[in-house]
């Protein structure tokens, strides 16, 4: 007969919350949502801002940071952004744990290292950083800031850009003396891709915009209505491409932008159309 020490059937188990008094009930992290455009491909790059964790307690806290794809925590996220292909590309300069002294903040610069391939230009990716304090307690508050990343634009890549459809370039600029531009849409699948295109400006109600007007290029309703697309319905044969022409008859007096919304593929995609009066 075998005996295990201390294995008598027990009437009681314990679910005592011993350390709860040291637990972390509040969390404040910056930024909450951020969009970065023009991210270089093939270069380990600082994104020029830190992830900051604010420790408002009298204890030293360690924050654990984990980079996760949107699909790991959401069924649907911001239109226009696909999940980052590899979460290891985005990282903190000081590693995935930050130590914050009492009543201070811990911060570390955010960096990205996208492999050098034409596939990764013209991309719009979403990614979360899950920030969890590492204190033992029953209930802990955590947050997951959202990063929307747009890689450098490359008009004529040697291989089709990632995405369905692949888009090159994913952003164009029209000017008074340059009123037309072309964009290539690539179908990298083995079936016909039927797409619907429309000019678009996101809902700008606070907190609900799914795509941001980056920099000083404001969304402009008149410009949205003032430029035209050569085709609003596009059918791309398998492993083929089509050229889309964009032109404007409207000439704003200040910098602005609007979007071309592409629907019909597994995820909604966008082309940014800028206007520069200079």
Partner 1 sequence: MRVFICGLMAVMLVCAAWAADNDDFNITVTVSFLDISLKQSAVPANDFDVWALGSQALEQETEMGAGDHILVLNGCNVPIDLKVWSKEDAAPACAFGVPTAWGPTMAVGADDFYSIWCTDVFPCVFDLTNVCPGNDLPGATTITTAPVAIGIDPEIYFKFQVPSGVSDGCEHTVHVRVVAIP
Q: Under DSSP, is residue 185 helix (H, G, I), strand (E, B) or coil? A: strand
**Of 40 and 85, CB closest to partner 1:** 40
The interface mask with partner 1, positions 95-124, x = CB under 8 A, is ------------------------------
**19 forms part of the interface with partner 1 (CB under 8 A):** yes
**251 forms part of the interface with partner 1 (CB under 8 A):** no
Tell which one of 33, 159, 243, 245 touches partner 1 (CB under 8 A).
33
Q: Which helix (H) or strand (E) holds 222?
A: helix 221-226
**Of 40 and 42, CB closest to partner 1:** 40
Rounded Cα distance between 80 and 85, Å, is 15
138: left (phi over 0), alpha (psi -120 to 50) or beta: alpha
Neighbouring CB atoms inside 10 A of 30's CB total: 14
Tell which one of 43, 44, 60, 72 touches partner 1 (CB under 8 A).
72
Beta-carbon-side half-sphere exposure of residue 184 (alpha carbons within 13 Å)? 20
Contact segment (CB under 8 A) with partner 1 among 71-79, 178-186, 223-231, 238-246 equals 71-79
Tell which one of 117, 140, 179, 182 touches partner 1 (CB under 8 A).
140
Total number of residues binding partner 1 (CB under 8 A)? 75
**267 forms part of the interface with partner 1 (CB under 8 A):** no
Rounded Cα distance between 188 and 227, Å, is 28
**274 forms part of the interface with partner 1 (CB under 8 A):** yes
- Return the residues of window 145-204 that contact partner 1 according to CB under 8 A: 145-146, 152-153, 171-173
212 by Cβ neighbours in 10 Å (0-12 / 13-18 / 19+) ranks as middle
**21 forms part of the interface with partner 1 (CB under 8 A):** yes
**130 forms part of the interface with partner 1 (CB under 8 A):** yes
Rounded Cα distance between 274 and 248, Å, is 11
First to last CA, the chain: 90
């Amino acid at each position: 007969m075998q005996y295990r020490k201390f294995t008598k059937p027990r009437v009681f188990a314990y679910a005592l919350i011993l350390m709860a008094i040291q637990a972390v009930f509040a969390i404040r992290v910056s930024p909450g949502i951020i969009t970065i455009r023009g991210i270089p491909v093939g270069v380990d790059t600082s994104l020029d801002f830190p992830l900051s964790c604010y420790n408002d307690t009298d204890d030293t806290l360690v924050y654990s940071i984990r980079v996760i794809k949107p699909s790991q925590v959401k069924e649907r996220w911001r239109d226009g952004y696909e999940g980052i292909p590899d979460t290891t590309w985005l990282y903190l300069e000081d590693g995935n744990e930050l130590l914050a002294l009492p009543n201070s903040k811990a911060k570390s610069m955010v960096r990205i290292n996208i492999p050098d391939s034409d596939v990764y230009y013209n991309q719009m990716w979403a990614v979360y950083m899950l920030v969890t304090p590492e204190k033992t307690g029953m209930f802990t508050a955590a947050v997951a800031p959202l990063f929307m990343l747009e890689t450098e634009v490359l008009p004529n890549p040697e291989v089709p850009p990632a995405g369905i459809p692949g888009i090159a370039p994913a952003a164009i600029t029209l000017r008074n003396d340059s009123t037309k531009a072309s964009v290539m849409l690539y179908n990298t699948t083995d079936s016909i891709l039927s797409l619907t295109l429309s000019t678009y400006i996101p809902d700008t109600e606070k907190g609900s915009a799914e795509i941001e007007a980056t920099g000083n290029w404001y969304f402009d309703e008149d410009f949205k209505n003032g430029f035209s697309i050569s085709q609003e319905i596009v059918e791309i044969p398998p492993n083929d491409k089509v050229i889309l022409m964009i032109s404007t008859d409207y000439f704003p007096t200040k910098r602005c932008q609007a979007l071309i919304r592409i629907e019909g593929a597994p995820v909604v995609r966008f082309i940014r159309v800028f206007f520069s009066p200079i």
